[in-house]
Structure 1
Amino acid sequence: MSAKNNYPYQDSFEKNLLSKDLSKVTIDEYNKILAELFNYLSEFNKGYQSDHRVENLFNRDIEAYLNMLLTNRQISNSTYNKILSHINVYFNYLFTHNLNSNLPTIELKGLKKASKEDINVKWINELDSILMNNNVHFYARMTMLLTSKGYKSEEFLQKGFYKQLSSIDFNENELKFKSSFDEFIKPIQEKQSSSDIFLKQRLSEQPNITIQGLHKYLKPSEDVLNISLNPSTLFQSYIVFYIQKNPNLNDIELSTHLNLDLSSINYYKQLAYKLI
Structure 2
Amino acid sequence: MRRAFLYGRDEHTGRCFEHRKQWIEDRLLELAEVFALDICAYAVMSNHYHVVLHINAARAEAWTLREVVDRWHQLCKGSPFSQRFTRNEALNAAELARLEEVAAEWRERLMDISWFMRMLNESIARQANREDGCTGRFWESRFKSQALLDERALAACMAYVDLNPIRAKMADTPETSDHTSIQWRIWAARDGKQPHQLFPFAGSPREPMPVGLPFQLQDYLELIDWSGHYLREDKRGAINEQVPPILDRLQIDPRHWLYLNRNFESRFKCLVGAAHLVRNACQRLGKRWAQEIRDSERYENNLNRLEKLNPMRFQ
Could you tell me the TM-score, scaled by structure 2's length? 0.25
Structure (1 or 2) with the greater helix fraction:
1
Could you tell me the TM-score, scaled by structure 1's length? 0.28
Structure (1 or 2) with the greater strand fraction:
2
